[in-house]
């Protein structure tokens, strides 16, 4: 049995990683799969059980982890309240009056729903998209990818998405820096989708549009989203002023501006929709919230056990000894995780602890490595057949997998090229 414990650390971590992905693939929730992986790796690397429990407790109780859990909880409650109160439906209806271009309106429907991270949210916009494109001769596959692609144009950088926030936490960078680096990918995704998907869509919306009243209704209904974004921007502007007046270093605690903005948004939604205490309580007690919180605790504990077991330092030595390019692992693990989990927080949580440790061994700009890894993970997630939005949209439009990938693959390759380019620029700047 000793030979099992003497196997290379890289092999142990990859097997553990594979076990986590396998368990998730056979419908074990990712949070439970991560904790099982933690115990498995701890035993295999001879970390005492008490030490494993201490790692879980330490990683689950520090401020950044608790703040991230708070943000995700607020987001899920906000999304649920906006949906059950009918505010999401009103947002879409008010948006009909903003654009005259049929192409712009087509893009706006899934993109608008994408502003809030709802599991399977593409299914919410699919019927609306179908109603907006009557008898236009579009194939089910094209409709599927239009809805699916534009639903996810914000997830690269929007601080309402848990995957983005977890990336910031693990890379230990400021939210603002991550947004600036990833923002060009949204423009690239829109441009690529506009050119490759919307060619057959022509014409203008016949109903009156663009009136001040209609635009005002849209702005009013989307107030919760603008509150969060403006609060984050305000914190970026205020921090330098505080530093200037105090004469010393100052920055807001991590995630504090997002937490505060979401709290104001929740208050606004509850007040403007006159939502009762019982409905708020039902949203707060949604089991999905607790599953997501446990998932975040598991991700951070998995990162901790990689350090506690000294697997990271072992891997770095083995990669040199076995001549395995660390770059190959940095690119492959996030892509595979994205394919298997079909969710951003899944590929970030499952692969980034390993990716970051390898990138630190390579030296250079860790942020650039993180952007590169995120790009490959995102590509895997968008191509994943178990991505909930993809699967639900496919079923709604009764499209074929092969036909869907014919439209989707070029889009993913284009945006992945954008991630590679951004990471190269960051490497160049830091050199």
Helix, strand or coil for residue 99?
A: coil
Q: How many residues does the chain have?
A: 431
pLDDT of residue 203: 65
Q: List Cα–Cα distances, 204 to 97, 145, 305, 380, in angstroms.
A: 12, 22, 57, 36
- Cα–Cα distance, 172 to 366 (Å, whole number): 10
Every domain of the chain and the residues it spans: 147-202+310-431
Structure confidence by residue, pLDDT tens digits, 316-343? 667 667 777 888 888 988 888 888 778 8
Q: Which residues pair with 204 in a beta bridge?
A: 101
Tokens linked to 37: 């992986």
pLDDT of residue 349: 84
Question: Residues 4-11: what's their mean pLDDT?
Answer: 78
Global confidence as pTM: 0.71
CB 99 within 8 A of CB 105: yes
pLDDT of residue 378: 96
Structure confidence by residue, pLDDT tens digits, 159-170? 878 889 889 989
Residue 205 — very low, low, confident or very high, per pLDDT cuts 50/70/90? low
pLDDT of residue 196: 94
């Amino acid at each position: 049995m000793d030979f099992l414990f003497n196997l290379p650390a890289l092999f142990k971590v990859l097997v553990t990683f594979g076990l986590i992905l396998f368990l998730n693939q056979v419908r074990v929730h990712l949070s439970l799969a991560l904790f099982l992986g933690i115990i498995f790796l701890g035993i295999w690397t001879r970390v005492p059980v008490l030490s494993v429990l201490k790692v879980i407790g330490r990683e689950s109780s520090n401020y950044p982890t608790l703040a991230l859990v708070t943000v995700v909880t607020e987001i899920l409650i906000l999304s649920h309240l906006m949906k059950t109160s009918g505010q999401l439906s009103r947002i879409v209806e008010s948006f009909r009056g903003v654009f005259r271009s049929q192409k712009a309106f087509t893009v706006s429907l899934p993109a608008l729903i994408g502003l809030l991270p709802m599991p399977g949210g593409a299914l919410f916009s699919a019927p609306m998209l179908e109603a907006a494109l009557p008898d236009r001769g579009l194939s089910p596959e094209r409709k599927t990818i239009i809805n699916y692609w534009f639903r996810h144009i914000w997830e690269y950088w929007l601080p309402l998405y848990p995957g983005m926030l977890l990336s910031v936490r693990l890379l230990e960078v400021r939210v603002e820096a991550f947004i600036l680096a990833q923002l060009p990918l949204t423009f690239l995704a829109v441009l690529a989708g506009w050119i490759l998907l919307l060619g057959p869509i022509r014409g203008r919306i016949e109903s009156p549009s663009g009136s001040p009243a209609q635009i005002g209704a849209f702005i009013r209904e989307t107030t919760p989203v603008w509150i969060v974004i403006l609060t984050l921007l305000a914190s970026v502007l205020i921090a330098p002023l505080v530093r200037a007046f105090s004469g010393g270093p100052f920055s807001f605690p991590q995630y504090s501006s997002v937490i505060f903005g979401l709290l104001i948004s929740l208050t606004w939604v509850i007040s403007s929709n006159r939502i009762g205490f019982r409905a708020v309580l039902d949203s707060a007690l949604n089991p999905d919230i607790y599953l997501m919180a446990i998932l975040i605790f598991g991700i951070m504990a998995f990162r901790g056990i990689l350090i506690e077991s000294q697997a990271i330092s072992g891997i770095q030595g083995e990669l040199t000894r076995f001549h395995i390019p660390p770059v190959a692992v940095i690119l492959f693990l996030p892509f595979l995780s994205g394919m298997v989990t079909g969710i951003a927080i899944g590929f970030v949580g499952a692969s980034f602890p390993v990716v970051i440790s390898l990138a630190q061994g390579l030296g250079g700009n860790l942020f650039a490595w993180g952007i590169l890894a995120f790009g490959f993970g995102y590509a895997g997630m968008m191509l994943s057949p178990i991505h909930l939005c993809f699967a639900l949209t496919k079923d709604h439009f009764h499209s074929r997998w092969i036909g869907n990938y014919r439209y989707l693959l070029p889009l993913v390759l284009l945006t992945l090229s954008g991630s590679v380019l951004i990471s190269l620029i960051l490497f160049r700047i830091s050199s």
